Structures are given as structure tokens and as C-alpha cells.
Structure 1
Amino acid sequence: MQRHRITVIGGGFAGLTAAITAAEAGAEVTLHEAHHTLGGRARTAEGPYRTNEGPHALYRRGPHWTWLAQRGLLGPLAPLPTREAARFRFHHAGALRRTPPLRFLRHTLRTAEQAPVDSDFRTWATRVAGPEAAAQAAAYSGVALFHHDPGALSARFVQERLHRAAALPPEARYVRGGWGRLVERMAARARELGVRIETKSRLTELPLTDGPVVVATSLAAASGLLGDASLRGEGGRTVLLDLALRTRKGDPFVVSDLDAPGWIERFTAQDPSLAPAGEQLIQAQLPIAPPSSASSSASKADGVTHAERLLDLGFPGWREREVWRREAVSSGRTGALDRPGTTWRDRPAIDRGDGVYLVGDEVAAPGVLSEVSFTSAVEAVSLALRARRLDLKSA
């Protein structure tokens, strides 16, 4: 029987998942990546400070965890720093504390009532736990949302991410050496299966092919490829601050801001390989509002100022210990956001018709963060192969 041919555009996590899934099903796969390296937003910086574009974690209850483990692709994971976990700090009312407020803790761990889809999180959580706990829970959920106002989003959407982020024992696991290592293993697996990977292959239109095409790019890039101006997502806008500090005993593992969305994590606490010996790598994410009358540089400065206030409280003498810094703003690159009255089913459909399929973290697929990319990629390949078999059968 003639092998199915599938073209994948985009070599990030979604594109590699689609390519591997299709090749395992016996398809002949060609993957196009515009850059000279694979990975997309899952790239890890080269050099002494191995940073990602914001925190990148795998959640153990997610579908891609099992899929990666079955294929031996998880690789070494950074162990949970049990001793360091005691250095988890919460910023509340201008001070750091070792434990969160009790009402906040009860609310984040409660599972008795499922939040409604058609209400915003702030309104629902205020009714359930009171305004103060609602505001704190919304701020804490920013670690999985990258949004400056989680309280305005769908209550069901925020609740799911809040429970996953606050689960005990923690669900999040980190790939040792950064997500670039995971990308390398996935790319090796794809090549073993015969996937043809073409880097520095930027496509400005859909290729002429007799097989299905899986578009695994951002919605903005997909909009141009498909000629569909309606493909627009709503992602958060976040200041990313990466710091390397000379090691000091007693620095916290995490500082979570409960007054406004903001998160600082010392990633070398669990994976010392991310920075040179004697140094520690700290990554902060500070969601900021979309630009209005203020300039984007001022908004970025606001995020950096927010981070530095938290650093002053949690990392004494950090300014004198700083040996490296990088600042960036990530806009619309942190996954889909569901407004009240909408769910993942209301996002852009995977099947675009005419043998074209759209995958990524902003399309109509369930899951949290990278789980959406994974689920959509597997679903797209399943739909493509099913449609292809029906076409061949009827021909």
C-alpha cells in the first residue's frame, strides 16, 4: 500500500509530536522549520546560562507525560528539591511569609465545587472564599497563566490551572538541562523513524503536496499561511527577567506574589547544571497589562521594577551578587486564554478543511500549557490519517 505523506510546518514541541505520531503510524513525513534549530518556544539558550523562554515544566498528570515516558523521551528529570521546598516564600501585604494565608490555602486546594464557565474567576471565587482569598488565588494562578488579570478570565479555566499548579505533591517536573534536551531527544526519535527534517526552511504559503499538511506555528504565522485573518488568539503579556547571582546560602527557592501576579524561581535549586559552579540561575515572570497610552518600554520597566521589589525582599544583596542579566517581554506566546462564557472548544478548530490541520497551544484542544500542543498534534494526525484512508478507499 502506498505510504501516506504528511507535511509538518513548524519544528517546536507540537510539530515534533505530530511528526513522530505520523511516522509511527507509517506515514512519510517531512518537517519544515524556519530557524536553523528546532524547538520553537521550547528552545534552551546555549552558553553558560541555560534559560528557556519562561518556565517550562511537564505536569505528571498530563497526557504527554505518559506518551514521552513510553518512548523513553522524558530523559533525566531534575529531582524535587525537598530541602529547598521549605524555602518557598509568599509575598503578601508588603512582606514575605513562609506560609500563605489560611483562607487562600483552603480555596486553592478545594475541589468540592466546580467553577462555572460563564462567570469570571474573581466573581465566583469571591462568592466562595471572600474577596481577599479570591484576589490571592488569582495572583497565584499567574504562574500558569502569564496574564496580568487572571480574575477576569473564565472561572473554570483559572480553577483548573490553579489546582494543577497548587497540587500536593507537586505535579510539575523539570527536564534536566532545559527543554532543549527534550527537543533533542524528540528530534532524534523523529529521524530514527525516517522523518525528513528541513531547517532554515521558511514557508510563506502552503506547499503543493498530495498529502495532509499540519501547521504547527503560532496563530499569527498560521494566519498568513492559511490566508485566514480570523486566526487571532489572546495570550498574556509577560516580562521575563533572568538573573545569574553568585551563590548565597539561604536564598529562597520560590517567591510567589499574592498581591499581584508575579513569580520568581531559583531553577538551579533543582538543576545546578543550568549555571556555572558557584552561581545560581533565577528566572522571574511578571505579567503586565497590554500597552495603552504608555510606551512598551515603560510597561517593561514596570515589570522589572516589580521583580526587583520581590528580589530585594527575598534575595538580600542580590545587586552586588549579580553577574549576568537578561530582560525580555513575551507577548501572546504563552498559550490560549479563555474568557468567561468560553472553553477550549471555542478556540480555532484543528481541522481547517482541504487536508489542512492546525496545532499548537491556542487551538481547540484540552489541557494545560504544553498539553494543548501535544493533544492537538496527536488529534490532527489521527484526523489526517483517517481522512487519507477514506480518500484512498474511495479512489
Structure 2
Amino acid sequence: MRKLTIIGGGFAGLTAALTAAEAGLAVTLHEAHRTLGGRARTADGPYRTNDGPHALYRRGPHHTWLRQRGLLGPLAPLPPAEILRFRFHRAGALRRTPPPGLLRHSLRTGEQAPVELDFHTWATSLAGERTAREAAAYAAVALFHHDPGALSARFVQERLHRATTLPPEARYVRGGWGRLIERMATRAREAGVRIETSSRVDAVPRGEGPVIVATSLPAAARLLGDPSLTWGSGHTVLFDLALRTREGDPFVVSDLDAPGWIERFTAQDPSLAPHGQQLIQAQLPIGPGGTKADGVAHAERLLDLGFPGWRDRTVWRRESVCLGRTGAVDGPGTTWRDRPAVDRGDGVYLAGDQVAAPGVLSEVSFTSAVEAVSLALRAERLDLKSA
């Protein structure tokens, strides 16, 4: 049985491990942290936070793959009543409905948008400057970037369309994404995958079969000694907050004046916080030179508008900075095909959310992981034929 080594035990690494084990490979997975999951880890109670807001889009390829293997587990769709609790910060005021121009523009598909133009220029030519600016700000829910309007129109429009599809695509793993990771890890072990945690790999093993590096892109660059492994990503402030429950709080406050979004995650999954409390998460983009204080101030402005008395109701809060860890962003003239290639040569492959694979958010990690295993198997078959 041919050996495969995987470095990184997040969603991409576990996807690759399961795919490879199903194909008959002997898989060893190394995870430097003491627990699996990467950015899909969920904190132990009482507040079950992820490393930033997490949702699973039901039309994505990983949704079908996980469902076919019985790994999805209980999912929490958005309750219909909560759709009525969307709030939009626009022109300094909180509103119950989005502007009509934003709704019309969101119906356009990503394929209609040009790759070579920035989103703001393209959207302005179709719908006017204000709608273009508001659509870019709204798209931040799936971008986590401080200036979505400066990115490729194709890239932004695809995510805007996916984020505004009705009924909503987003599904939430009950108990947090860590539950999904636990199910994937259990299935991997049952399939014969050897999982080693607290196992830091400082050099790519050679001569023992193909290797899939399923780490962050900066970590992969250091491991492989390849400074060309770079791609744009967002810088954000993670803001987690637990409040005593108050009837009438909004589900979401979406900022259309500047990219930003806060969400009450216990609306769809009350198990994320103790009874009588609600968990709010936000991941606010900050630009070059931005600080944690900037992101926190943005979150607090939105809370002041949408959550009356939130300061007096606060029972727990946490803040942190997340630099370049929100997935790939494609600038004008680039697509996912221009990102660092999955196949690095000499039996080494990349998987993760900043490499050359299609999809939105975690879909990129999934697609690249499956592609990495496929390429490794193909190379193995070619080697056997040549031998």
C-alpha cells in the first residue's frame, strides 16, 4: 500500500486524508497543534466560538461530499422568522430593508462580471456609484476584505450572488464546526488514517511517497522554502460577545457604509451559549495600518445601533487580530487559476483556502484537497506504468 503524508489537520487536511484512505492509500496526518481543526476549531464551552464566523453553503461541493458520507450531522438552517430581523446600516441609520439597487444587483451572476475590471468600476457602470459601494460593503460577509470594490469584479460578484441567494444557502453545523471536525477525524481513523497531533514537521519527508501540505500558505512557504507562495487575503479583527438575552435583538446588522457584519449565532443554534445568553460574532475588516482598536470600534458602533443596552448585558467578550487568514482574494485580472498551484512538483501538493482551486471560502480548501489527492494518485499510476 502506497504511503501518503499529510501535513496539517484542518478541514483541508482531513478532507485529503479521507479521500486518500478511500482510494486505498496508507495515510499519516501530522498536526502541530494538540487538537485538530485549524481555523475550524470550536472553543470548549460555555461559549462555542469558531475562529471567526463559520457557515457551510449548501450548494457547495463539500456539502454533497459530506452528506454522502454521513458526516454533515445536524445542521441549523436560518429560521424564517430571523430573516425579518436583518438590519442594514445605511447613511448613518439602521434600516429594516436593503436598498432596491442592492437587491437588483445581487441577482446578477458572477459569470457576467469581467475578471479584468475592479468591482467598483464595473458595478458603478451598471447601477451607479452608491449601489456599487453598498454592494461591495455587503459582499464583505463572504470576503472579509477592507476594500471589496478594488478586487476583481468576477470574484466579488460571485460571492455577492451566493451570499444573497434566497432561500439562504448558509447552513450552520450545530455545536460549531468542531463537531464536523470530530466526525471527520473519527471516520478517518476508522478508515486507517494514522493521526498524530502535537507533531510539528519542519522538513518535507522525502522518499516515502507523496506529501500534501495542508497548512496556511505562509506556513507552507516556510516549510517548502518557497517565498513565491504568496497570495492576497484579508486582515480582520475577531470580536466575540455574549449578552444576556433580550427579546427583539436583530439576527444580523450589515454595514452598507463600510465593510462589516455582526451576527447573532445563537439565533440558529442556541447550544453555542448557556441558557439565557446569546452569542454574537463578528469579523471586521481592517485596512493597511489598521489596528484591533479600529475593528473593535466598528463592532461597537454597530452594536450601539442594533443591540440596545448591550454594554449592561455583556457577560463575556473576546477580541483578537487575524492577519491574512480569511482565504484568498483575487485582484483585477486574476482568478483562482492564478493562485499558487496545487502541484508543486517532486511529489509535493498544496491544499488550503489560498491555492489554485475554485469555490467560496471553505469550498476552496475542500476542492484543493480532493485535487491534491487526485494528482498524487495520477502521478503514482504513471510511475507504476513507467516502471
Q: TM-score, normalised by structure 2?
A: 0.98
Equivalence for 2:43: 45
Q: Does 1:355 align with 2:347?
A: yes
Which consecutive residues of structure 1, in runs of 5 or more, have no partner in the other structure? none
Q: CA deviation at 1:112?
A: 9.5
1:124 equivalent among 115, 122, 125:
122
Provide the C-alpha distance between the structure 2 equivalents of 1:84 and 1:130, rounded to a whole number of angstroms.
30
Report Cα offsets for 1:147-194 as digits up to 9, x if no partner.
Answer: 000000000000000000111110010000000000000000100100
Provide the C-alpha distance between the structure 1 equivalents of 2:375 and 2:304, rounded to a whole number of angstroms.
52
Equivalence for 1:109: 107
Q: 1:112 to 1:42 in 2, by over 3 A?
A: closer
Equivalence for 2:371: 379
Provide the C-alpha distance between the structure 2 equivalents of 1:124 and 1:38, rounded to a whole number of angstroms.
42
Query: Could you tell me whether the CA contact under 8 Å between 2:110 and 2:161 is conserved in 1?
Result: no
1:312 equivalent among 293, 296, 304:
304
Q: CA deviation at 1:275?
A: 0.1
Q: Does 1:73 align with 2:65?
A: no
Provide the C-alpha distance between the structure 1 equivalents of 2:378 and 2:122, rounded to a whole number of angstroms.
42
Provide the C-alpha distance between the structure 1 equivalents of 2:222 and 2:304, rounded to a whole number of angstroms.
44
Superposition pairs for residues 256-335 of structure 1, below 5 Å? 256-291=254-289, 299-335=291-327
2:166 equivalent among 140, 165, 168:
168
Query: Could you tell me whether the CA contact under 8 Å between 1:4 and 1:385 is conserved in 2?
Result: no
The secondary structure found in structure 2 opposite 1:52 is coil
Equivalence for 1:54: 52
Provide the C-alpha distance between the structure 2 equivalents of 1:284 and 1:228, rounded to a whole number of angstroms.
33
Provide the C-alpha distance between the structure 2 equivalents of 1:54 and 1:112, rounded to a whole number of angstroms.
25
The secondary structure found in structure 1 opposite 2:63 is helix
**What amino acid does structure 2 have at the position aligned with 1:304?**
V
The secondary structure found in structure 1 opposite 2:316 is strand
Q: CA deviation at 1:103?
A: 1.1
Query: Could you tell me whether the CA contact under 8 Å between 1:205 and 1:224 is conserved in 2?
Result: no
Equivalence for 1:364: 356
Provide the C-alpha distance between the structure 2 equivalents of 1:228 and 1:19, rounded to a whole number of angstroms.
24
Query: Could you tell me whether the CA contact under 8 Å between 1:121 and 1:153 is conserved in 2?
Result: yes
Equivalence for 2:191: 193
Query: Could you tell me whether the CA contact under 8 Å between 1:360 and 1:374 is conserved in 2?
Result: yes
Superposition pairs for residues 156-235 of structure 1, below 5 Å? 156-235=154-233
Provide the C-alpha distance between the structure 2 equivalents of 1:315 and 1:29, rounded to a whole number of angstroms.
49
**What amino acid does structure 1 have at the position aligned with 2:4?**
I
Q: Which moved more, 1:64-73 or 1:228-237?
A: 228-237
Q: 1:178 to 1:112 in 2, by over 3 A?
A: closer
Identity of aligned residues (%): 80
**What amino acid does structure 2 have at the position aligned with 1:314?**
G
Q: CA deviation at 1:110?
A: 2.9
Query: Could you tell me whether the CA contact under 8 Å between 1:13 and 1:40 is conserved in 2?
Result: yes
Provide the C-alpha distance between the structure 2 equivalents of 1:112 and 1:263, rounded to a whole number of angstroms.
22
Which consecutive residues of structure 2, in runs of 5 or more, have no partner in the other structure? none
Query: Could you tell me whether the CA contact under 8 Å between 1:89 and 1:98 is conserved in 2?
Result: yes
Q: 1:138 to 1:57 in 2, by over 3 A?
A: same
Q: 1:204 to 1:151 in 2, by over 3 A?
A: same
Provide the C-alpha distance between the structure 2 equivalents of 1:21 and 1:332, rounded to a whole number of angstroms.
28
Coordinate RMSD, CA, aligned:
1.0
Q: CA deviation at 1:389?
A: 1.6
Count of matched residue positions in the alignment of Structure 1 and Structure 2: 387
Q: CA deviation at 1:205?
A: 0.8
Q: CA deviation at 1:113?
A: 7.2
